[in-house]
Amino acid sequence: MFLFRKIGQWIGMLTGIFVEKTDDRFSVERRLAYDRQQRAEQLKTQRNVAVDVGAYAVELAQELGEAVVEVEDLRSQAKEHVARANAAKARGDAKAEEEELARASRLADELAEAESHLAQLQSEKEGALKDKEEAYAIIEDGIESLRAQAREDARLGRRAGMAELRERSLEMREKLAQMIPEDRDNTREQIDQKLDKREARLEARRELTDRVLSRERDQRIRQSQQVTAKGRANLNELFAEVGYTPTATDAGATGTAAAGQQRSASEDLPRGGSVGPGA
């Protein structure tokens, strides 16, 4: 049971991710436009009803006019019969008076019914006009609400577009900041270590090469200084003509002179020992 519930949660999570990924600006605008279209269709139906209510009010107005004419006509006829009854009374014609009064009475009853019908039509007309005004007010409010909804939907569409752009910008920033897992490696560290080892090997080779070259140079110099007696005599003549004394010769001569002075001093001393103050 727990496994089924977890599977259901995973499926819901995946479905939520799919819906979130497909909820871009185009889909938002399309869904909102479809909703506005449905509301517009409902508004058209309400408008048709309002038109029918207005048409009913117009019909009642026409019937009310006819009822008014009918009431006025009945009143006029009843009034005429009453006048005739009065004239018959003046003549002393009781039978004619009675007949005219009977006609006037019938017309009076019919007039009462016509007046009641007229009052009913008047009330119905006023109610229809109120319904018409209310229906058109509802239509106007619906149109204004639909316009406001369209403006709000446009803002929602722009927000969806901004969210999409922000998501792209964030992805680029993550790549620039090397926050993607694929970019997290030690390539530069490995290169740096390899370069350190390579530079150390090069330095060791250079030191070894310098020692070899120095030893070979010293050996060549020593070999070049090993000349024959005749060559040495010629070289000394050249030294004398130029007035040049090699540094090694000066150092050797200085050392030889010092050694001679030490030997002379030792020869001047008595053979038996050192000279004391009493001698």
For 55-103, what is each residue's pLDDT tens digit? 777 777 888 888 888 889 988 988 898 898 888 888 888 888 888 888 8
In the chain, what are the domain boundaries? Answer: 7-183, 189-265
Which segments of the chain does DSSP mark as H helices, in order?
A: 2-22, 25-91, 94-176, 187-225, 229-242, 247-268
What is d(CA 269, CA 275) in angstroms, rounded to the nearest whole number? 7
Q: Which residue has the higher pLDDT, 161 or 187?
A: 161
Taken in order 168, 172, 178, 184, the sign of the CA dihedral is positive
Confidence band, pLDDT 50/70/90 cuts, at residue 142: confident
Q: Do residues 100 and 82 touch, judged by C-beta distance below 8 A? A: yes
33 token code pair: 């436009």
Q: Is the predicted pLDDT of residue 107 greater than 80, yes or no?
A: yes
Neighbours of 76 (CB within 10 A): 11
Choose among 98, 110, 104: nearest CA to 81: 104
pLDDT digits (tens, 9 = 90+) for 221-275: 777 777 778 777 887 888 788 887 877 655 544 555 455 555 555 555 454 444 4
Report residue 246: phi and psi, to 5°: -60, 150
Neighbours of 132 (CB within 10 A): 19
What is d(CA 35, CA 145) in angstroms, rounded to the nearest whole number? 13
What is d(CA 217, CA 131) in angstroms, rounded to the nearest whole number? 123
**Distance set, CA 240 to CA 226, 244, 248, 254 (Å):** 20, 6, 16, 18
**Distance set, CA 6 to CA 1, 9, 13, 134, 215 (Å):** 9, 5, 10, 55, 81
pLDDT digits (tens, 9 = 90+) for 31-58: 878 887 887 787 777 777 777 777 777 7
What is d(CA 247, CA 260) in angstroms, rounded to the nearest whole number? 20
What is d(CA 279, CA 276) in angstroms, rounded to the nearest whole number? 6
Q: Is the predicted pLDDT of residue 278 greater than 50, yes or no?
A: no
Confidence band, pLDDT 50/70/90 cuts, at residue 145: confident
Neighbours of 78 (CB within 10 A): 19
Q: Do residues 135 and 53 touch, judged by C-beta distance below 8 A? A: yes
Give me the pLDDT at residue 279, please: 35
Q: Which residue has the higher pLDDT, 5 or 94?
A: 94
pTM score, whole prediction? 0.40
Q: Is the predicted pLDDT of residue 206 greater than 70, yes or no?
A: yes
Spell 238-257 as b/e; 16+ CB within 10 A means b: eeeeeeeeeeeeeeeeeeee
115 token code pair: 């007046």
Taken in order 30, 31, 32, 34, the sign of the CA dihedral is positive
pLDDT digits (tens, 9 = 90+) for 155-179: 888 888 888 888 888 888 877 776 5
CATH tag for 7-183 (out of 1.10.287, 3.40.1130, 3.40.50, 1.10.3470) = 1.10.287
Report which residue type is found at 16: G
Report residue 23: phi and psi, to 5°: -85, 65
- Mean of the pLDDT values across residues 175-198? 72
275 token code pair: 């000279």
Q: Do residues 143 and 43 touch, judged by C-beta distance below 8 A? A: yes
